[in-house]
Structure 1
Amino acid sequence: MIPDPATPPFAISEGLIPYAAALDAMAARAAAIRDGTAGQVVWMLEHPPTYTAGTSARREDLTDARFPIHEAGRGGQWTYHGPGQRTAYVMLDLNRTHGAVRPRDVKAYVTGLEEWLIRALDRFNIRGERRDGRVGIWVRHPRTGGDAKIAALGVRLSRWVSWHGVALNVEPDLSHYAGIVPCGISDAGVTSLHDLGILATMEEADAALIAAWSEVFGEVQAAEAA
């Protein structure tokens, strides 16, 4: 299911990958990384329209179950995945140092994912920011003047191997978010590159993510199996 990386450690899938199939593939790859039989990978893909529930999701925050629902097993609350959104599942052995990310340091790892997204957005002249008490990457929306989330983040660790990851809104249908309270936050919006007037292609978004990666996580080789 997870293709071989074309630009280590990045593997990019074409088409829409069902969420359940992606969960199975991630779990298998994480186990293989722990066992030393597969290399680390950042799997980049798109899903069909899907609502996913993290371990803190509240049922009342699902307001319109118009799309399939999946228990994700990651941290966080409700999230939407769909076409036009670049989802990147990051499977790393966190027993090792990765650039600025120290081994076995969950906070440093999450901070690294945030910094990766911020640096990728900077390549489009978008100022992505953290917000105290709010997960993900945010921008000040030029039309509303309020906060809007442009990228989501949710992680899971299995014996210090990471899976799940981040989702960057490139050109999704933002009306699809209306069926949930994203991440349990009702007083802020969602946005995308296209909504902000940056008409980037998915390939251009991928190029920005790939270019920003080594600035935070260093060089990660795909084939590290023993």
Structure 2
Amino acid sequence: QMKKEKRNSTNKEIVTPNYFLFVEHPHVYTLGKSGDLSNLLLNEDQLKNKSVAFYKINRGGDITYHGPGQIVGYPILDLENFFTDIHKYLRLLEEAIILTLADYNIKSERSEGETGVWLDVGTPFARKICAMGIRASRWVTMHGFALNVNTDLGYFDHIIPCGIKGKAVTSMHAELGEKIEEEEVKKKILKYFKDLFNVEDFIRKEVE
């Protein structure tokens, strides 16, 4: 309904509302439209035994995992109210996560040629802490990011995350050695996202 509302706004003098959905998914693997199915290392029976779902979806990117302890964010905004540049949007989304992690003394950065947010780029210990896969239809954004906060990283052992071989995955919990208050992380992400887009507020929704 929210996407439909924004698509129906044809008068660009009317600024449509901006939504930010936070979701905690059950255990699921998703494969992007350009992904390679061979990056899923489980067959149908093994998925069933582990109680993990699998879906092919229409976002960019390859395969990733979503589950409890992970903050998944789906901003829904009309880029025609900001800029019509999907790559700039992705960079700002990454920046919001980088700034959030810095508040926890976790130094993160981008990795050239790879989306998402990483630690120790350019070293043998490079590891991904936040995956991203986005799409826009008529400049209305969908999908978003998945930040590993208190995530059970064992689920990543059954895929080649984002189709990138030889790179590890980490979480805030793994880096700091303690459980992280997820609500506080969400508030920080939303604050930085609002600052980067220079908007007063997003309509925040929690989706189960």
Q: Same fold (TM over 0.5)?
A: yes
Partner of 1:125: 105
Kept in 2: contact 1:129–1:138 (CA 8 A) = yes
Q: Distance in 1 between matches of 2:154 and 2:104?
A: 23
Q: CA deviation at 1:84?
A: 0.3
The letter for the 2-side match of 1:156 is R
SS at match of 1:163: strand
Separation (CA, whole Å) in 2 of partners of 1:222 and 1:115 = 17
- The alignment status of 1:154 with 2:159, answered yes or no, reads no
Q: CA deviation at 1:40?
A: 1.9
Letter in 2 for 1:160: W
Deviations 1:141-172 (Å, cap 9, x if unpaired)? 9xx96111000111011111001011110011
> Could you tell me which residue of structure 2 aligns to residue 89 of structure 1?
74
Structure 1 SS opposite 2:80:
coil
Task: Give the SS at the match of 1:95.
Answer: helix
Give the Å deviation of 1:134: 1.4
1:4-19 equivalences in 2 (<5 Å): none
Q: What's the secondary structure of 2:172's corresponding residue?
A: coil
Query: Given the superposition, is the C-alpha separation of residues 222 and 191 from structure 1 closer, same or farther in structure 2, using an over 3 Å criterion?
Result: closer
Q: For 1:44-193, list aligned pairs within 5 A.
A: 44-65=22-43, 66=47, 67-97=52-82, 103-140=83-120, 146-193=125-172
Q: TM-score, normalised by structure 1?
A: 0.78
Identity %: 36
Query: Which AA in structure 2 matches 1:196?
Result: E
CA contact (8 A) 1:137 1:149 kept: yes
| Cα displacement (A) at 1:222 | 4.5
User: Aligned Cα RMSD in Å?
Assistant: 2.0
Give 1:56's aligned amino acid.
S
Match of 2:194 in 1: 214
CA distance change for structure 1 residues 89 and 220 in 2, over 3 Å: closer, same or farther? farther
Matched, 1:36 2:23: no
Match of 1:18 in 2: none
Q: Take 1:153 and 1:133, find their aligned partners in 2: how far apart are those partners? A: 13
Counterpart amino acid of residue 96 in structure 1: N
Q: TM-score, normalised by structure 2?
A: 0.85
Pairwise CA distance, 1:207:
2.2
Matched residue count: 189
Unmatched runs of 5 consecutive residues or more in structure 1: 1-27, 98-102
> Hey, what does 1:24 align to over in structure 2?
none
Which secondary structure does the structure 2 equivalent of 1:76 belong to? coil
- Structure 2 segments unaligned to the other structure (5+ residues): 11-15, 204-208
State the distance in 2 between where 1:134 and 1:220 align. 31
